[in-house]
Amino acid sequence: MLNPIAVTPGNSSITPIVPGFHPDPTVCRVGDDYYLATSSFEYFPAVPVFHSTDLLTWTQIGNILTTREQFVEGEGRPSLGVWAGTLRHRDGRFYYITTNVSDIDSGQIIVTATDPAGPWSEPVHVRDAIGIDPDICWDDDGTCLVTWHRFNFDVGGIDVHQAPVDPSTGEMLKPSYEVWSGSGLPSAEGPHLYRIGEWWYLLYAEGGTERGHCATVARARRPEGPYEGCPANPVLTRRSTNTPVHNTGHADLVQTASGDWAAVYLGVRPRGGTPGFHMLGRETFLSGIDWEDGWPVFVTDRYTVPEGLTGFVEDFVDADLQPRWVVPSGTLDDIERDPATGVTVPPTRRLCVRVRDLSWEAIADLVGDGSFEVRIDPLHNYRVDVVDGEAVAVATIGGREQTVGVAALSGGEATRVRLRAEAPPRQEVPLGVPAPDLIVLEFERADGWVELARLDGRYLSTEVASGFTGRVLAVGSDARATTARRIEYRPL
């Protein structure tokens, strides 16, 4: 049976608060204001940062790592780059700590700012902390503690390590020590440490970031341990449950201004049968938190999340690009903007924006020749090339490129290209595994819209392409410069 669950739109257990690929969320509160940051992998500027006053509606206010000193590009492979981090506020200053997996030997990166919209400081490196998913926290005496998922090259294992660190230099003040090795599931990672009442809590992820993902918790009287695991572990998981959101885990707690507790966590929305395909990467969800016997209890359906706030129209007339625009390699410096003609992306480059909905359409007004595509990575994408008087639909799957539709343009200076993801027709008796969605590639001619191709969306999913990211829309191509004077995106 397909999708047997009756879902209530807007329930926080099924509707993300930050849709589109925004995994590993980390959150902090300052007075009545909440700030949230997520991983961004190869994309630059890196680490989108959001603001909210109610935990439900989030506005992107910038990106944290906006220079190539803060985020060294390295080899720039898909899904490397910036992984999970921690955002905290202390004594009037925001701290953000993360790992650049493309530059793993530089250890953990700490940047600080007084305004989370930026600018953020030059990076400080904790060079002796090799591993991923760092947390930053302060002991009762003000000592800064960094806790991370250590790569133990000697035994090939992994564990959660901690060290006191001078955050202004990155120097470790004493050798690191193991604090926990998890509840026994694979990959104890994504640790966050909190001082709550008489306890120190370690909330972390386990089970790997796929269908077995979960959040687990341990507590101790001192930050270095010894820790005891929660008897109810895992405290958050959708393993083996038939719900529309899967892979839930990697959570971060926040106390609300009114004294309640909540958590942000990641999850995916697969479609197309069971176990299905997820196209948008891992997204950020919100949960209520209750406390029972001194342990956090996730109440994932506590909140009603508003939907449909993802659409935008971009005409590129502002001096600065909106923070939603990113590039998978290089910088934004050679992306030209002219209020009269729009944005021009040179050959081999892409200007990208995350897709944030399960069903959507996007229209790019291309001036002259150019390309508009939806991609999950360079080897998996569908695009329309406008070239030499024709519109050409091209599908690239596993790096193999094929032309799947061609039609003549009707002339004129600009061509509107439309990409759309729509739910496939319901199959009462599915034969084989149904498509998660259909991608329709179209362009506009004097006599109306022309459909070039209608393609199975599974090939632009994480289950096929692998990796940690999700779909983006991209302007630009390897072959030619693309000028776009307007891009419009809306959920369907």
**CA–CA gap between residue 30 and residue 61 (Å, rounded):** 15
Amino acid of residue 220: A
**Pick the catalytic residue: 24, 206, 314, 357?**
24
Looking at the Cβ atoms of 16 and 434, the one nearer to ligand 6LW is 16
Looking at the Cβ atoms of 250 and 271, the one nearer to ligand 6LW is 250
CA angle 462, 468, 474 (to 5 degrees): 75
Q: Are 416 and 443 in contact (CB under 8 A)?
A: yes
**CA–CA gap between residue 109 and residue 120 (Å, rounded):** 12
Q: Point out which residues bind ligand 6LW (CB under 6 A).
A: 23-24, 39, 83-84, 132-133, 189-190, 205, 208-209, 250, 468
Q: Are 242 and 253 in contact (CB under 8 A)?
A: no
Q: Is 189 a catalytic site residue? A: yes
| Nearest-approach distance from CB 155 to ligand 6LW, in angstroms | 20
Q: Rounded to the nearest 5°, which phi and psi values hold at 308?
A: 80, 25
| Nearest-approach distance from CB 282 to ligand 6LW, in angstroms | 7
Looking at the Cβ atoms of 193 and 391, the one nearer to ligand 6LW is 193
Looking at the Cβ atoms of 208 and 275, the one nearer to ligand 6LW is 208
| Nearest-approach distance from CB 321 to ligand 6LW, in angstroms | 25
Q: Which of 73, 32, 65 is nearest to 51 (CA)?
A: 32
**CA–CA gap between residue 227 and residue 225 (Å, rounded):** 5
| Nearest-approach distance from CB 53 to ligand 6LW, in angstroms | 27
**Pick the catalytic residue: 189, 206, 283, 369?**
189
Strands laid side by side in the 59-65 sheet? 26-30, 33-37, 46-52, 59-65
**CA–CA gap between residue 398 and residue 89 (Å, rounded):** 43
Q: Is 314 a catalytic site residue? A: no
CA-to-CA separations, 260 to 42, 169, 280, in angstroms, rounded: 36, 35, 30
| Nearest-approach distance from CB 85 to ligand 6LW, in angstroms | 8
The residues that bridge with 52 in the sheet, in sequence order, are 34
Looking at the Cβ atoms of 86 and 344, the one nearer to ligand 6LW is 86
Catalytic residues: 24, 189
